[in-house]
A and B are shown apart, each in its own frame.
Chain A
């Protein structure tokens, strides 16, 4: 989990962000710029072990990356997976618009028989 995943899957991002504790942890990391699991655990009612586990999942989605500095592991947050996922959801919405429009054309075509 050293660098953000190069190919982020929107469904992975949504799953990972679907947990309130993980969102709180991600926000804590984002606010600090860089921080450690211990510091995050100090800010939230979550054990250090649990924070580390959530940071690992956030890392799998590319939402945080980590680097070692002496004895500490430093985490930072990344926005790219959120942008990718937002764009993907926009594409999903656009494809529904296109499908509804196609259904409209078929239904309004006088040649379409009902039932």
Chain B
């Protein structure tokens, strides 16, 4: 038996993916996703500003969790909206502290769209300069199985 363990959600995934079907065409989903007057209602309860172009600034404010800062990376109207944002409240995005968020819109017919969000990079965060150098030597591939094993040993209730 050499096949891999069943791909049940690992306790500490590198990527989170969520998806739902919306009964509206992609143009309307795109409007809900990206227009400033809508952004402030679904993204951050104290406001959100997004410059909708690659390199544009992204700022999301919450009453209780402070401010998240990010940079827009991908804008393909009606299809893809991608940005990188900092996990550290109030801290500007830099290579070591960001995850990448990608929204994808897939038309499913005249009046339905699958909207998927993927947030990835939880395991490629890098801390100090020294950490970053150390990281380059590390093999980051295939570490989920290892980590699952580790979680089973250390924290069976989190697995």
List A residues at the B interface (Cβ < 8 Å). Answer: 11-12, 14-15, 17-24, 26-27, 30-31, 57, 77-80, 82-83, 85-87, 89, 92-93, 96-97, 99-104, 106-108, 112-115
Contact = CB atoms under 8 A, between A and B. Distances in A.
B14 to A, nearest CB: 9
Given A14-B125, A86-B11, A86-B155, 8 more contacts: A17-B150, A20-B143, A31-B153, A89-B12, A100-B19, A100-B115, A104-B22, A107-B24
A30 B154 CA distance: 7
Contact of A115 (B31, B113, B150): B31
Contacts of B153: 27, 30-31
Contacts of B32: 103-104, 106-107, 112
Interface of B: 11-13, 16, 18-20, 22-25, 27-33, 38, 41-43, 87-88, 96-97, 113, 115, 117, 119, 122-127, 131, 134-135, 138-140, 143, 146-147, 149-151, 153-155, 157-158
B31 A114 contact: yes
Nearest to B25: A114
B146 A23 contact: yes
15 contacts: A15-B96, A18-B138, A23-B150, A26-B150, A30-B153, A57-B131, A82-B154, A87-B158, A89-B13, A103-B22, A103-B29, A112-B24, A112-B32, A114-B28, A115-B30
B16 A89 contact: yes
Contacts of B30: 114-115
